[in-house]
Amino acid sequence: MRLGQIGAWCAAFTVASADDARPAAAEIEALGYETLWYPEGLGTRESFTNAAVLLAATDRIRICSGIANIWARDAVSTANAARVLADAFDDRFLLGLGVSHPRQVDPRGHLYRRPVATMRAYLEAMDDDPFVSPDGTAVTRPPVRRVLAALRPPMLRLAAEMALGAHTFLVPVEHTRRAREILGPEPLLVVEQKVVLGDDLAEARDRARSALGWYLDTPNYVDNLRWLGFSEDDLAGGGSDTLAQALVVAGDEAAIEERCRQHLDAGASQVAIQPLEAGDPFGRETFRRLAPVLL
């Protein structure tokens, strides 16, 4: 599957109105980005209907859920929705699935537990296709193409076994190196990378640190960072400067290009850049300035 080495990742599409999202997605496409990733959270826009809005507003770019929460809908509904989007929009939709986090799951009435076993069972249910044609004949369809949100080795191994690969989030270059070793040479490895493009390095680094707060209060991310060797001091108080610099690249176009190259050299199939702009949640100025450098 062709994704391009550099993608666009934007959280604003999770909450923006369709009127605001359509022109933003169209501009990102016009700049030359080949993929656009958007997340899903508790109380945000629903992932598949949101994808339809973005796909309808664009012509060529691949729209990717990064990620759709498996607790938000059953496996058969997910598979059928992904097939409808692929069929309606020239196979431009790529399904990213994740187990999410307890605070995003338990309020839905579920009990977050055994994430790897739960994901495996979900994928098996997706592939146990119950489709019957109008004449009553059972039809076997190919599995829905998907990538899995994965950080630690067990989920990375599952991504290699039962998906096209993995989508990682909030990770340093060292994680990309480890993830590639676990996945093996063939599966996709899409790495989200937060970026702050600015000339005032001190201000850029402050913005980088301020973006980490929610994640450093989320066990899955914290456990992954501990696995990578970050200390309790690094994780305390909103995160150390060392942690912030490892997770968010702040600086000029050359600094961001270098970090993307480091991920690619470490084994990433694609680096999906997520701008942290002060004035525009879509990060359009960052996407504009980086396109001639990265694409």
* Residue 14: CATH number of its domain: 3.20.20.30
CA dihedral 136, 120, 193, 31 (to 10 degrees): -10
The 10s digit of each residue's pLDDT in 142-154 is 899 999 999 999 9
- Residue 227: CB partners within 8 Å, gap ≥ 6? 152
- Residue 32: inside a domain, yes or no? yes
Is residue 267 a contact partner of residue 3, using CB atoms and an 8 Å limit? no
Whether residue 1 lies inside any domain: the answer is no
In a domain, 86, yes or no: yes
By CB neighbour count within 10 A (0-12 exposed, 13-18 middle, 19+ buried), where does 140 fall?
Answer: exposed
Residue among 36, 90, 105 at smallest CA distance from 64: 36
**Alpha-carbon distance 122 to 152, whole Å?**
19
List pLDDT tens digits, range 163-220: 999 999 999 999 999 999 999 999 999 999 999 998 777 777 788 788 888 899 888 9
Residue percentage of the chain with pLDDT more than 70? 96
Residue 93, SS3 per DSSP: strand
d(CA 6, CA 143): 26
125 is written with which tokens? 């249910």
Whether residue 63 is contained in a domain is answered as yes
Q: Which residues contact 116 (CB under 8 A, 6 or more apart)?
A: 154, 155, 158
Cβ contacts of 170 within 8 Å, gap of 6 or more: 192, 194, 215, 221, 224, 247
pLDDT of residue 211: 84
Residue 79 structural domain? 6-294
Give the DSSP H or E segment for 5: none
**Residue 229 within a domain:** yes
pLDDT digits (tens, 9 = 90+) for 25-69: 999 999 999 999 999 888 889 999 999 999 999 999 999 999 999
What is the distance, to the nearest Å, from the Cα of residue 147 to the centroid of all Cα atoms in its chain? 9
Give the pTM. Answer: 0.94
Q: Has residue 132 got a pLDDT over 80?
A: no
Domain total in the chain: 1
Q: How far is it, in rounded angstroms, from Cα 22 to Cα 25?
A: 5
Residues 69/104, Cβ–Cβ less than 8 Å? yes
Is 31 in contact with 25 (CB distance < 8 Å)?
no
